[in-house]
Structure 1
Amino acid sequence: MPIPSGGRAVDRSLLRDDVYRRLRDAIVDCTFLPGEQLKDGELAEWLGVSRTPVREALLRLAASGLVVALPGRSTRVSTIDATAVQDARDVVAAMHELAVRQTAGRLSEDDIARMRDANRRFAAAVDAGDIGAALDADDEIHRIPVTALGNTAVETVLDQFDPLVRRAERLRFSTDGHASVDLHTRLIDLIAAGDARAAASMAFDIWHTLPAGDG
């Protein structure tokens, strides 16, 4: 398994969640490719931590479907399976639909402004071909209603299933993400107007613009 050079070490005082996020992001951004074997010793050395948080992170990644662990054999990055992506996409769409329905018309002016600013950054990133920045901006747009809702169950479900969808979505944004700019604009306008039913429907439909077979 080739380990990226020049990676900054994780501060040893940080929680295991930081190790999980680093490994999750490395899989989503294709630093580690589908089918690639992941060795906990090499990952621990790369991140500058012990093997324990790495092993715990790999277990969480397996639960999310990003890695496949074969007991006593190996752990590999999962391939992008259409059925798994469809299942995760449907769950993610339902959670965002719920969050938007409950927060439409209740978000602050600052929340709406941050969503619009994130969409502008999303558009600029798509134009520049910066897929990582586009994904970050897209995540910020959709996370604002989720955060405002404050439902820890919704956040937990999204934390588990969102990475699998994001990996497939990265492939979509690498070919054409321009249509999403207009969809985001319509979503934000509906939320700002307080049209909960239409905004929730738009949120649900946005996630279903990602075909299950992408990747």
Structure 2
Amino acid sequence: MARYTGPKTKISRIFGEPILGNGKWLNKNSNPPGQHGAARKRKSLGEYALQLREKQKAKYTYGVLERQFRRTFEEAARRKGVTGENLIKLLEARLDNAVYRLGIAPSRPAARQLVSHKHVTVNGEVVNVPSFQLKPGDIIGFKPGSDAKTGLTSQVRGKNQKFNWLDWNETEMRGTFIAYPERESVPENIKEQLIVELYSK
């Protein structure tokens, strides 16, 4: 199960956004990484570089490596509708992302760990695949026994109200994936059309 394990702050500095973590170090040093820091003369990015940069941003944001990201894009292209919007919908429908959006885990890497360690169920069945694709109506909860562990349940902060494609029941400690989100509801700053143009070459 491949995942990115490199320096997170360095990635955030490349894009100038806190895409991995809270971005607290960006206040101290927001210069792109590399020798000479801010004094280095940097060329303006060309068309291909901008497209590649946007793809990398999406990959780092959702914690997906190249092969899996390409497969997700191919699935988005097969579906009806706008390919770029389909791509974002499929990424948002990943189980680890939904666990993060529901407020069960403080970050996507933490959500991925919860899923891979078999603490999360989908429709009552334990699922340990972070990339598991949810369908509208799927119910996400804790495995029996895991819900009694205060170390896990103490991290639950509840769903942000702006994520209207998810529903969280605090009493039963479980959430529902209501529907695929509309693009304008997803807060990530990703220009998905550039990714479509990159893969269309």
TM-score using structure 1 length: 0.26
Structure with higher strand content: 2
Which of 1 and 2 has higher RCO (CA within 8 Å, sep 6+)?
1
